[in-house]
Amino acid sequence: MSVVKHEQPTGEQDARPLLLASSSPRRREILGRTGVDFQIVPADLDEDAFAAAFGGSYPELVEALAVAKARAVAASQPDVAGLILAADTTVILDGEMLSKPRDPADAARMLRLLCGRVHQVATGVAVFERQADVLESAHLVTAVHMRPYSDEEIARYVATGDSLDKAGAYAVQHALFHPVERVEGCYLSVVGLPLCLVSRLLRRHGLALAPLIASVAAQPQRCLWAEQCQPPLPAGAASG
């Protein structure tokens, strides 16, 4: 099990280690923006087998997968105290789940299904505090409106290889393909790690992520992490 450290150069830090149970570069980048030190410890979990045996809804599934990832990392790191953060994301269209594509042809198929339509992205988050043996989890669902891109655009994007490690075969933040027309809800949840939800769970365990908006009281309906979004959410946007 590999462990990668991500340390911020300055600032006061919580003494307990924070482990990110994910190998996703997108989650690493998002969490890295918060100024908190953390270690990357990917979870050793057969997600396909877990999903096949699960009997709940897809939003419940991603939350359960986040819980399973957190527990898997806890089991693999018995001597490390502190907090474990895990997440899982999936795409839902017409009541069916679009997970990571099997190959480029499957990626193109998914992108054709999503083209010009509205789908949901569900992200589950779990935080496990080992010393207190307390695990909390939650999930949120965001509506995503896709633009009517062409088959040629699909082919060019799939050829980059970017789609193969992503649920639904696309990255909302991809600079050249930019497949999404608009997002209703938490943009960072679509990327893979909703800081609004993560910050609430971590705060319950004594770890506060530095908010980027100074006057939160003046904008109670604004997501604390709206300025982390690319592009930024408007002031009145719903938070995840």
What amino acid positions are annotated as catalytic residues? 88
Adjacent-strand bridge partners of 92 = 97, 120
- Residues 141 and 139: their CA atoms lie apart, in Å, by 7
Cα gap 240→183, rounded to integer Å: 11
Interstrand relation of 18-20 and 83-93 (parallel, antiparallel or unpaired): parallel
**How would DSSP label each residue in 22-70?**
---HHHHHHHHTTT--EEE------HHHHHHH--S-HHHHHHHHHHHHH
Letter string b/e over residues 58-82, b meaning 16 or more CB atoms within 10 A of that residue's CB: bbebbbbbbbbbbbbbbebbeebeb
Which residues of the chain form beta strands (DSSP E)? 4-6, 18-20, 38-40, 83-93, 96-98, 118-129, 134-146, 180-184
Give the integer Cα–Cα distance in Å for 150 and 179.
Answer: 10
CA 9, 41, 70, 29 torsion-angle sign: positive
Question: Which pair of tokens denotes residue 122?
Answer: 């569900």
